Chains A and B, each alone.
Chain A
Amino acid sequence: MNGFASASIAEVVRTEGGRVVATLYRMTRVLDVAEDAFAEAAVVALERWPVDGLPERPGAWLATVARRKALDMLRREQRRRSKEDAAAAALDALADNEPLTWSTVRDDQLRLLFTCCHPALAPASRVALALRVLCGLTTPEIARAFLVSDATMGQRISRAKAKIAATKLGYRVPPDHELPARLRSVLDVVNVVFTTGHHAPIGETLQRVDLTDEAIRLARLLGDLMPDEPECLGFLALLLSTHARHTTRVGDDGELVLLRDADRSRWDHDAIAEARALIERALRAGRPGPYQLQAAISCVHSCAPDFASTDWNDVVALYRILDDRWPTPVVRVNRAIAESQVHGPAAGLQLLDSVAGASGWPFFHAARGDLLERAGRRAEARDAFAAALACEPNAVNRRLIERRLAALKD
């Protein structure tokens, strides 16, 4: 085995997958060909690398083999049908043996990311497509993450691919004047990838690190593309700061650990320092956006040495701007929790009463229960926690809420 395990080969193949597929898509403009060619190359890699050893540049090796596979596929296709025009251009692009530069590879991925996140595609399809095409997840994996059947997800992905092909959906990074509008959709998609990994919505596990890692990789790519776009930097800062704390979200017993109880020495302080530097740089541009504000809030928590020394005034001030300019129920509930730390539970409860459309959301009821308990209204607190359980939270959250409810019944 030449000193490396087959698991690590599979890992290399998977992480290179997104890059290789993006490049092949640029050359062929057919997503299925790009994916199939890469899959064939991956099979060759999994056979050869354990025998021959890992190539010096595995990504380049895979790209070369996949390019040859795509060339074969398109030639077969061209012989079968007489339709030549589009295929001929693709064949030229594939036959060109120029080695790929890092910047080309990076640009290919960015273009494909913008294609997958095009606003002409349904939001659910954008996320699914990005996970499939750029992150190399299988359709069943994506289906599990979004709680739909394999068939539904397969259909969603193939429908999106068909639309991309039929509309020749822009395979390019949009021009500067369109970038702010288009960037939002891209950041939202990558954010869903991240939060899907960070809060697995049901089941026994709370996190899927493969998804959070992919999201951070894509966020870094966007940061490289737009180093002057503060919202991009803020977004990366948000992911880094949130992810830096992931090791303490669940205790050794598998139970959820609240921020106040987390062992902060186990946080990734290098990542926190990077996040902090990024958000400070972003905010200096003077163009705050929702992700920058969320990153700034996250960094206030990450940088506090312990829960007691959290600067709640800062947190409240940031939430007020966020709630004022980019209001969502989630922001309002989080602001209520922050306000209660500064102005007491009654102030928080008053804000919660103004949240609309959150009655099916367990976190809303759990936050209410917490504030009611702190306000000494135990009977109402019990009702709120019971309402949270009725919303069927994931197993880890459910056990936490059950413990709170049990404590209130004593």
Chain B
Amino acid sequence: MAQFAALIYEPKDSRLEPTNPKFAEYMGGYGRFGEQYGASFAGGAALAPPETATTIYVEGGEDGDVVMLDGPYAETKEFLGGFYLIQAEDLDAAIAVARHIPAAWRDGGRIEVRPVWEM
């Protein structure tokens, strides 16, 4: 068994606020996905929106100064909205699960599937 990260890229504005009447339906898709395929999950998380991101690097070596930038590392039309860690035999098996992530088939999203490096 190997692990694959399924990184969920959502178009800006596709994510609904909890106050939106369609929010329950939007999240329900992820709930149903979890019920159906949860057995193969090894982890995962939904991330708060990219506006909340802080991008940092350190200048002058490990003990140097932290430089902080407001916003995500790359300003793109899509943002990383969350990820699942999927336990699967091979890429085909991982894709067979990842294809059911709601962002893959609605909301105009894309899923990047990447093997976790076995160390």
Q: In chain A, what residue has the closest Cβ to B91?
A: A167
Whether, in the assembled complex, A168 has its beta carbon less than 8 Å from a beta carbon of chain B, the answer is: yes
Whether, in the assembled complex, B92 has its beta carbon less than 8 Å from a beta carbon of chain A, the answer is: yes
* Chain A hits for B115, CB < 8 A: 166-168
Whether, in the assembled complex, A170 has its beta carbon less than 8 Å from a beta carbon of chain B, the answer is: yes
A170 to B91, CA, bound (A): 7
Interface residues of A, dominant DSSP: loop
Whether, in the assembled complex, A43 has its beta carbon less than 8 Å from a beta carbon of chain B, the answer is: no
Whether, in the assembled complex, B27 has its beta carbon less than 8 Å from a beta carbon of chain A, the answer is: no
Whether, in the assembled complex, A256 has its beta carbon less than 8 Å from a beta carbon of chain B, the answer is: no
Most interface-central of A166, A168, A170 (chain B CB within 10 A): A168
* Chain A hits for B92, CB < 8 A: 169-170, 174
* Chain A hits for B95, CB < 8 A: 120
The smallest beta-carbon distance between A402 and chain B, in angstroms, is 49
Kindly identify, within residues 89 to 113 of chain B, every residue whose CB is under 8 Å from any CB belonging to chain A: 89-92, 94-95
A166 to B95, CA, bound (A): 14
Q: In chain B, what residue has the closest Cβ to A167?
A: B91
Q: In chain B, what residue has the closest Cβ to A164?
A: B91
Kindly identify, within residues 131 to 186 of chain A, every residue whose CB is under 8 Å from any CB belonging to chain B: 166-170, 174
Q: In chain B, what residue has the closest Cβ to A120?
A: B91
A163 to B4, CA, bound (A): 13
Whether, in the assembled complex, B2 has its beta carbon less than 8 Å from a beta carbon of chain A, the answer is: yes
* Chain B hits for A174, CB < 8 A: 92
* Chain B hits for A118, CB < 8 A: 91
Between A and B, how many residue pairs show CB distances below 8 Å? Answer: 23
The smallest beta-carbon distance between B4 and chain A, in angstroms, is 8
A120 to B95, CA, bound (A): 10
A227 to B117, CA, bound (A): 40
A118 to B4, CA, bound (A): 17
Q: In chain A, what residue has the closest Cβ to B2?
A: A168
* Chain A hits for B94, CB < 8 A: 167
Kindly identify, within residues 88 to 143 of chain A, every residue whose CB is under 8 Å from any CB belonging to chain B: 118, 120
Q: In chain A, what residue has the closest Cβ to B90?
A: A168
A120 to B96, CA, bound (A): 13
* Chain A hits for B2, CB < 8 A: 167-168
Kindly identify, within residues 21 to 76 of chain B, every residue whose CB is under 8 Å from any CB belonging to chain A: none
A168 to B92, CA, bound (A): 9
The smallest beta-carbon distance between B12 and chain A, in angstroms, is 27
* Chain B hits for A170, CB < 8 A: 90-92
A336 to B92, CA, bound (A): 42
Q: In chain B, what residue has the closest Cβ to A168?
A: B90
The smallest beta-carbon distance between B97 and chain A, in angstroms, is 14
A315 to B92, CA, bound (A): 40
A120 to B91, CA, bound (A): 9
Q: In chain B, what residue has the closest Cβ to A86?
A: B118
The smallest beta-carbon distance between B71 and chain A, in angstroms, is 31
The smallest beta-carbon distance between A175 and chain B, in angstroms, is 10
A166 to B3, CA, bound (A): 10
* Chain B hits for A166, CB < 8 A: 115, 117
A133 to B46, CA, bound (A): 41
The smallest beta-carbon distance between A122 and chain B, in angstroms, is 14
* Chain B hits for A169, CB < 8 A: 90-92
A218 to B4, CA, bound (A): 32
The smallest beta-carbon distance between B115 and chain A, in angstroms, is 4
Q: In chain A, what residue has the closest Cβ to B117?
A: A166
A174 to B95, CA, bound (A): 14
* Chain A hits for B89, CB < 8 A: 168
Q: Sample 23 A-B pairs with CB under 8 A, ordered by A number.
A: A118-B91, A120-B91, A120-B95, A166-B115, A166-B117, A167-B2, A167-B4, A167-B90, A167-B91, A167-B94, A167-B115, A168-B2, A168-B89, A168-B90, A168-B91, A168-B115, A169-B90, A169-B91, A169-B92, A170-B90, A170-B91, A170-B92, A174-B92
Partner-A contacts on B (CB < 8 A): 2, 4, 89-92, 94-95, 115, 117
Partner-B contacts on A (CB < 8 A): 118, 120, 166-170, 174
Given A167-B2, A170-B90, A174-B92, output 8 extra A-B contacts at Cβ < 8 Å.
Answer: A118-B91, A166-B115, A166-B117, A167-B94, A167-B115, A168-B2, A168-B91, A168-B115
